[in-house]
Amino acid sequence: MEKHLENDLSEIGNLLETIKVQGLSYLNALSERKTSVDQEISLQKQKLPESGYGTEKVLEIFNERFEPIIVGSSGPRYWGFVTGGSTPASIAGDWLASVYDQNTQSTKGQGDISAGVELETIRLMLDLLGLPERFLGGFVTGATMSNFTCLAVARQWIGKEKGKDIAKDGISIPFKILTATPHSSSLKSLSLLGIGSGNIVKIKIMEGNREAMCMEDLESQIKELKGEPFILISSGGTVNTVDFDDFKAIARLKNKYPFWWHIDAAFGGFAACSDETKHLVEGWEFADSITVDCHKWLNVPYESAVFFIKEQYKLLQVETFQNSNAPYLGDPLENFSYLNFLPENSRRLKALPAWFSIMAYGKKGYQEIIESNVTLSRQFGRLIENSNNFKLLAPVRLNTVCFTLKETADQEKVNIFLEKLNNTGKVFMTPTFYNKHKGVRAAFVNWRTTEKDVELVFNVMNEIIETLKQ
């Protein structure tokens, strides 16, 4: 055995103890850690040395080069993009997933336990989100891959409607995708799947500062298709203003027209955890497929998302993802196996962080996280609304505040303001463009965020505006 490897083996206890202490010091100081740094990583030009350093020394190198410039993106004031953190239970599950290093493939013969854990976690997630058990699902790396997985099965469904097996024979038939305000990752998925992001029919959005689709326009566009099957991609929370399509109305259309209904509810799906907000997703249970991201509002470490696809489409799903020329992997239809059910073959014990977290905190724990984030975003929205320096670009519908400067004559100022704000390292937000205005998005997704954080950030924002006036 190589000498460093041998030494690491005998020192594994001390190594893990050191990592635990370091991990704790990161977590305990997360609230104070800067949310941005101005220092860039200096990438090594040198080649990998013939003989390695051993883990203790590598940790030293990591701590010297990378650790000091890691930002507190899993902390309470990282409001950019849609960024969750990690609950203690999810970190425990994540660590164990690495320690046990299982391959989550099938329920028979390969990674049996971990595939079982995943199936169970999917059921628990359905319960958390109030969805019926007629959905089957699995874990993928993020909402992008979840959208991809769902749309791949949708593609197979369209083919079957037209007498083709697209997974086998390729796409030989054109078809349309109807959508109003899709997330960019759905367009990316359409490109990857050979459907083509250009084959979208854009549905008008509703009037009155909305991003949700106009149902009259949707129905008239459907009529234009003259009975041809199509895919509908709807939003369970748009990324800018968290607007929701009318799922109850879409469900009614399912009885009249042939379409595969996909919902991207990457983060908005968690509205289902609270009685106050669950009306936003009412009717989503009638969709054919749903995307939900766990590394967002479930607050488990990256990379974790689920797809839910109705169990009645299991055969289409296996046709899409089967390893058809590999007898050593078993008959794809005989035993349930994740390797014939989603894009990857070998995967880690992906569900374990989510399983730990939902088992540890239950429905009540998640209801509180969601309600707290919603309350904080409303509170931040009210501060913006009543301010002399800022104004809302859209109402606060769930957990995101989309705003701009009150003085809009010079749009460039929005960028200058945001750059200065992010440079403070006290908070991080992302830019956007909404309703012909440059704006800023603040998304509340982290379980650690408190009222004090909102006050702190609002004070910093006003201080920056004062400096811009000088």
Ligand X SMILES: Cc1ncc(COP(=O)(O)O)c(C=O)c1O
Q: Which residues bind ligand X (CB under 6 A)?
A: 81-82, 142-144, 183, 185, 237, 239, 264, 266-267, 293, 305
d(C-alpha 308, C-alpha 317), whole Å: 11
Please report how close the Cβ of residue 347 comes to ligand X at its closest, in angstroms.
16
Q: Which two tokens stand for residue 324?
A: 């058809």
Closest CB to ligand X among residues 329, 351: 351
Please report how close the Cβ of residue 314 comes to ligand X at its closest, in angstroms.
24
Terminal Cα-to-Cα distance of the chain (whole angstroms): 66
Please report how close the Cβ of residue 2 comes to ligand X at its closest, in angstroms.
37
Please report how close the Cβ of residue 290 comes to ligand X at its closest, in angstroms.
11
Please report how close the Cβ of residue 267 comes to ligand X at its closest, in angstroms.
6
Closest CB to ligand X among residues 143, 384: 143
Closest CB to ligand X among residues 441, 448: 441
Using CB positions, name the residue nearest to ligand X.
142
Q: Is 101 left (phi over 0), alpha (psi -120 to 50) or beta?
A: left
Phi, psi dihedrals of residue 311, rounded to the nearest 5°: -60, -30
Please report how close the Cβ of residue 112 comes to ligand X at its closest, in angstroms.
28
Closest CB to ligand X among residues 180, 383: 180
Instruction: Name the nearest CA neighbour of 102 among 86, 91, 116, 88.
Output: 116
Closest CB to ligand X among residues 183, 350: 183
Closest CB to ligand X among residues 138, 142: 142
Q: Which residue type sits at 426?
A: K
Please report how close the Cβ of residue 180 comes to ligand X at its closest, in angstroms.
13
Closest CB to ligand X among residues 117, 445: 445
Closest CB to ligand X among residues 11, 246: 246
Residue whose pair of structure tokens reads 């004559």 in the numeric block: 409
Say how far residue 242 (Cα) sits from the centre of its chain: 14
Q: Which two tokens stand for residue 173?
A: 């038939």
Please report how close the Cβ of residue 304 comes to ligand X at its closest, in angstroms.
9
d(C-alpha 398, C-alpha 300), whole Å: 20
Phi, psi dihedrals of residue 162, rounded to the nearest 5°: -105, 20
Per residue, what are the HEC states of 447-462?
CCCCHHHHHHHHHHHH
- For residue 358, the surrounding DSSP H or E stretch is helix 352-385
In Å, what is the CA distance from 152 to each residue of 145, 177, 235, 340, 343?
A: 10, 13, 18, 13, 9
Q: Which two tokens stand for residue 274?
A: 């609270």
Please report how close the Cβ of residue 406 comes to ligand X at its closest, in angstroms.
27
Packing angle of the helix pair 314-321, 143-161 (nearest 10 deg) = 110
Phi, psi dihedrals of residue 111, rounded to the nearest 5°: 65, 40
Instruction: Name the nearest CA neighbour of 96 among 126, 117, 74.
Output: 117
Closest CB to ligand X among residues 82, 329: 82
CB-CB neighbours of 449 under 10 Å:
24
The widest CA-to-CA distance across the chain, in whole angstroms, is 73
